[in-house]
Copies of this chain bind each other. A is one copy, B any other.
Amino acid sequence: MPHDNEIRLQELNNTLVKMSELVGTAISLATRALLEDDLALAEQVMSGDAQLNGLNADVESLCFKISTLQAPIARDLRMVIGAIRMASSLERMGDLAVHIAKQVRLRYPNPSIPRGLIEIFAEMGQAANKIVEEIGQVIATGDPVLANRIAQHDDVLDRLHRELFTAVLAPTWAHGVEAAIDVTLLSRYFERFGDHAVTVAKRITHIAVGPTFAE
């Protein structure tokens, strides 16, 4: 039978995996809300964020409990400290999905993005969804090889972000300043989403290989 200590560390891991699943749902729904101008979906993303914030607090309570009851060392301690960092990143990824949803609400019933940019934002949504799916697997398995692949997916988001800038700054841009600002911020939210996923992946590598903590 597993030791109580192991059970608590597993619970910590499960909570982070659950957070990644909720983040996945949030970014999928937010992307659909954006592409389909769907206010109900956008509001679902906003109201769903409280659960993610709750799990972030749960991670910290668990870390507090583990530290107090079992004085973890070495890899276990790296996991405890790393869990606090990863929970922050995952919570922030949820916030970014909420930012996208709020933009949909702000412009509703008008479309949030010009029709010509639907495809690029659909690709961003797919890449963001892919990255968070893999983050869940990376956390669940603690596999540093899988963790290294996350950076490649993030490259896709960075490329799409640059493409978006090119489109907005082209002489053919016909949607004015407000739409330019809207899509720039939206694109930045997806890009930051990817950055946070990379941070989580790096942390899993640190936990697995320790003991350095260089960022």
Contact = CB atoms under 8 A, between A and B. Distances in A.
Contact of A88 (B68, B88, B177): B88
B213 A64 contact: yes
A181 B180 contact: yes
A60 interface: yes
Interface residues of A, number: 35
B68 A77 contact: yes
B77 A213 contact: no
Contacts of A185: 184, 188
Contact of A63 (B81, B173, B177, B188): B81
Question: How many copies of this chain does the complex contain?
Answer: 2
A63 B176 CA distance: 50
A56 interface: yes
B88 A77 contact: no
Interface of A: 53, 56-57, 60-61, 63-64, 67-68, 71-73, 77-78, 80-81, 84-85, 88, 91, 165, 168-169, 173, 176-178, 180-181, 184-185, 188, 213-215
21 contacts: A56-B215, A57-B213, A57-B215, A60-B81, A61-B213, A63-B81, A64-B77, A64-B78, A64-B81, A64-B213, A67-B71, A68-B73, A68-B77, A71-B71, A85-B88, A88-B88, A91-B215, A168-B177, A169-B178, A177-B177, A185-B188
4 tightest Cβ-Cβ pairs between the two chains A and B: A71-B71, A60-B213, A177-B180, A181-B184
